[in-house]
Amino acid sequence: MADLDGNVNAKDFAPTVPAASFGHAIKGAAAYDWGMQHRLGRVFEGETGRTVMLAFDHGYFQGPTSGLERLDLNIAPLAPYADALMGTRGALRTSFPATTRSGLVLRASGGPSILKDLSDEYPAMAMRDAVRIGADAVAVQVFIGGEHESRSVRNLTGLVDEGYEAGIPVLGVTAVGKELVRDARYLGLATRIIAELGAQIVKTYYCEEGFEDVVAGCPVPVIMAGGKKLPELDALTMASNAVRAGAAGVDMGRNIFQSADPAAMIQAVRAVVHDGLDPAEAHERYLELAAARRAA
């Protein structure tokens, strides 16, 4: 119990000053429990309300891919540049120091490998393990239009219900089947379904036409998935277009860890997402950082 010696009576209650009310830079978050808002605040950067999320969960269905051969060597050194890490519990527990300060978004769905139908997923992590590991969100693939669409939606809603109990947000990932077109109509359908069923964050791909409508039609933050490896300037342009259309940041994997200099690339992505640099300026920064690292 506090030491009563020297206690000073309270006197300044500022009775004319209204009680503080805290708006939330994160779309749709105002009614969430404090704990869930706090965890979202560890994923999204406070000033911009945006995130640079580094995705390296690809191994959960495709094993080691180029740039992910050694998570401890390839990805862990990039963590200081990431607002949030999106990976598996197996990756974190084996390949990252527990002192990692980035927000943690844990992959919580899984099942098929690339050898089978990727939409045939089930929950792949109990929410109590997400709590144990200190997750700030869990991620689940939602295959709207896929063979197992309803089950993937059930995977989502089950995690959302458990997430409400634990105060852990759910990131719903738009998984686009090969036979589907990544246009605004489809992405608008998928993102809205995911948000209406309770996800607190939605991740989807970028589309040239109408992406601003996809974002505006979704009542929670939309973050852009990077997708397949592009030339660095193209990837930076896509990220810039996405945030300028209202996306709350990016969740990029291959365009960072498969670039010639991943550390330089994630810093260039940060310059686009958080500092508002034009793609060309950010690409210049990428080249300068990469050259400086080579010279070191």
Closest separation in Å from C-beta 189 to ligand 5RP: 18
Closest separation in Å from C-beta 139 to ligand 5RP: 7
Are the CB atoms for 200 and 170 separated by under 8 Å?
A: yes
CA 210 – CA 142 distance, rounded (Å): 21
Closest separation in Å from C-beta 228 to ligand 5RP: 7
Q: Which residue in 11, 27, 178, 203 is the catalytic one? A: 203
Nearer to ligand 5RP, 37 or 258 (CB): 258
From 147-155, 162-170, 191-199, 245-253, span contacting ligand 5RP (CB under 6 A): 245-253
Are the CB atoms for 53 and 253 separated by under 8 Å?
A: no
CA 6 – CA 267 distance, rounded (Å): 51
Q: Using CB under 6 A, which of 92, 170, 223, 252 touches ligand 5RP? A: 252
Closest separation in Å from C-beta 225 to ligand 5RP: 4
The number of helices, as runs of H, and strands, as runs of E, in the chain is 12, 10
Q: How far is CA 56 from the centre of its chain?
A: 11
Are the CB atoms for 145 and 175 separated by under 8 Å?
A: no
Active site residue 11: no
118 lies in the binding site for ligand 5RP (CB under 6 A): no
The pairing of beta strand 109-110 with beta strand 122-123? antiparallel
> By C-alpha distance, which of 175, 173, 167 is closest to 135?
167
Q: Using CB under 6 A, which of 58, 89, 270, 285 touches ligand 5RP? A: 58
CB count in 10 Å sphere of residue 119: 20
From 21-29, 50-58, 124-132, 151-159, span contacting ligand 5RP (CB under 6 A): 50-58
From 25-33, 52-60, 116-124, 157-165, span contacting ligand 5RP (CB under 6 A): 52-60
CA 79 – CA 99 distance, rounded (Å): 11
Q: Using CB under 6 A, which of 45, 57, 232, 261 touches ligand 5RP? A: 57
Four-residue CA torsion sign, 208, 252, 32, 15: negative
Nearest residue (beta carbon) to ligand 5RP: 226
173 lies in the binding site for ligand 5RP (CB under 6 A): yes
Closest separation in Å from C-beta 257 to ligand 5RP: 8
Are the CB atoms for 273 and 249 separated by under 8 Å?
A: yes
Nearer to ligand 5RP, 151 or 229 (CB): 229
226 lies in the binding site for ligand 5RP (CB under 6 A): yes
Q: Using CB under 6 A, which of 90, 134, 158, 227 touches ligand 5RP? A: 227
Tokens of 126: 């109990």
Task: Report the C-alpha dihedral over residues 267, 269, 275, 280, rounded to 10 degrees.
Answer: 110
Closest separation in Å from C-beta 99 to ligand 5RP: 24
Residues that bind ligand 5RP (CB under 6 A): 55, 57-58, 86, 173, 225-227, 251-255
Which residues have a catalytic role annotated? 203
